[in-house]
Amino acid sequence: MTIFKNALVQLKNAAEAAGLDPVVVEVLKHPKRILQVSVPVVMDDGAVKVFEGYRVQHNDARGPFKGGLRFHPKTDLDEVKALAFWMAIKCAVVNVPFGGGKGGVAVDPKKLSSGELERLSRAFIRAIAPVIGPDVDVPAPDMNTTPEIMAWMVDEYARVTGKFQPAVITGKPIAIGGSLGRTAATGRGGLFALEEWRRRANLKAKDLTIAVQGIGNVGFWFAKLAREAGYKVVAISDSKGGVYATAGINLDKALAYKKEHGNLKGFPADKEISNERLLELPVDVIVPAATENVLTDKNAGRVKARVVLELANGPTTPEADFKLAKKGITVIPDVLANSGGVAVSYFEWVQNRTGYYMTEAEVNDKLKKLMVEAFYDVAGLATDKSLTLRTAAFALAVRRIAEAQQARGWR
């Protein structure tokens, strides 16, 4: 199935299991607005290349649309629709006053020069400027987009509107209104969720081994913070493959090696492994932190971990979900596990609008409070109704969205 159809299956399963309002469920099947744009860019050689871009605004019952902008060659409308839907669910799960949106451009940014990347970023934000704004839709970084790119975009938005409005985009550099703690927020939030699962299971961090698929920003910060918390990170990977070391991996050295060589191939470890093999290692926790649909009907039966902590968006298909649940493997779903990023984006948005800027300690304390509350809201509903954590998370989110829609008289 397509990614968006997978998302709708998750919604259908939650609706059936939790008796959700059919009117709200029907509304949530459809994005509120879809914008597809052509983005012409003058390349360094003088030629003009046109890229396809998207912004999908799924639901704004609880507040402005919120969601990242990604630059990736495989970005398409189906993917962006799914990600916008998951953002609507995620914001409701972590209980921040946003709806769901997502955007992206079909491009391989690694093939662009710095100048070409800046011109693309500015052209894309000009194209979607009519449908975004601090009170309307607030983009953020996502796959292959950075604080530098967000800075170009917020500057271009100021040129278009004639007013510098830092709250229009989150994930910015600190110098122009970014929030301390934002870079590590998604990984840190995932660790907070894992910590609460561990406490409920009455286990010690030092006794648990972890394998992380995808050692980009999210995966690296999660792995680094998990190691500092006492967990043993024994396997990591990037897009080219990974390494496994039973004694644990020195993440700082691994990151330095990757920066020098471009990938992890050749990094000292017990053995090199593929991304596929990493998910089947005999570890306690696997963390898909890269791309969608990596756990499927084909490989779910070979998963040996106790827990799947989803830091990527949509890494597990509905068929895999069913198999994992049947094996007694706990899945901490993406709409809960990776919501730390949007939580701190919310803090950044608030700071931009009030002019009061928090310390990193304040940000991290507030993030922990939101993540712990969200975990127990979801886990409590799962226990009460005998649901998986994913189904409980969706049920909780849809109920919160329904309350907002009913309060606004949308029925």
| CATH code of 330's domain | 3.40.50.720
**Is 344 inside any structural domain?**
no
Instruction: Compute the distance between CA of residue 387 and CA of residue 97 in angstroms, rounded to an integer.
Output: 26
Please check whether residue 345 lies inside any domain of the structure.
no
Instruction: Judge if 46 and 94 occupy the same domain.
Output: yes
**Of the listed 66, 81, 102, 258, which one is catalytic?**
102
> At a CB cut-off of 8 Å and minimum separation 6, what does 133 contact?
64, 165, 168
**Within a domain: 381:** no
Bridge-based pairing of strands 285-288 and 232-238 is unpaired
Q: Indicate the SS3 state at residue 129.
A: helix
Indicate whether 375 belongs to any domain: no
SS3 for 209-245 is EEEEECCCHHHHHHHHHHHHCCCEEEEEEECCEEEEC
Domain enclosing residue 209, as ranges = 185-337
Domain assignment present for residue 392? The answer is: no
Shared-domain flag, residues 198 and 113: no
Q: Of 277, 309, 337, which marks where a domain is finished?
A: 337
Contact between 109 and 74 (Cβ < 8 Å): no
**Of 174, 206, 224, at which residue does a domain stop?**
174
Same domain, 270 and 136: no
Q: Give the predicted TM-score (pTM) of the model.
A: 0.94
Residues 244, 159: one domain? no
User: Quick one: 224 and 332 in the same domain?
Assistant: yes
Asked, for residue 405, whether it belongs to a domain, the answer is no
Q: Within a domain: residue 10?
A: no
The CATH code of the domain that includes 139 is 3.40.50.10860
Q: Does residue 52 sit in the same domain as residue 142?
A: yes
pLDDT at 410: 82
CB 55 within 8 A of CB 83: no
Q: For 37-76, b where at least 16 C-beta lie within 10 A, e where not — what string?
A: bebebeeeeeeeeebebbbbbbbbbbbbbbbbbbbbeebe
Q: Provide the domain count of the chain.
A: 2
Q: Are 294 and 277 in contact (CB under 8 A)?
A: no
What does each of the 411 residues of the chain score in pLDDT, given as a tens digit?
789 999 999 999 888 888 888 888 898 999 999 999 999 999 999 999 999 999 999 999 999 999 999 999 999 999 999 999 999 999 999 999 999 999 999 999 999 999 999 999 999 999 999 999 999 999 999 999 999 999 999 999 999 999 999 999 999 999 999 999 999 999 999 999 999 999 999 999 999 999 999 998 999 999 999 999 999 999 999 988 999 999 999 988 998 999 899 889 889 899 999 999 999 999 999 999 998 999 999 999 999 999 999 999 999 999 999 999 999 999 999 999 999 999 999 999 999 999 999 999 999 999 999 999 999 999 999 999 999 999 999 999 999 999 999 899 986
Do residues 298 and 191 both lie within one domain? yes
Active site residue 102: yes
Give residue 411's pLDDT.
65
Q: Are residues 166 and 263 in the same domain?
A: no
Q: Which two tokens stand for residue 390?
A: 């994913």
Whether 93 contacts 336, CB under 8 Å: yes
| 242 in any annotated domain | yes
Are 72 and 196 contained in the same domain?
no
Domain boundary among 303, 337, 371: 337
Together in a domain, 70 and 112: yes
Same domain, 163 and 62: yes
> In terms of domains, do 117 and 227 share one?
no
At 180 the pLDDT is 98
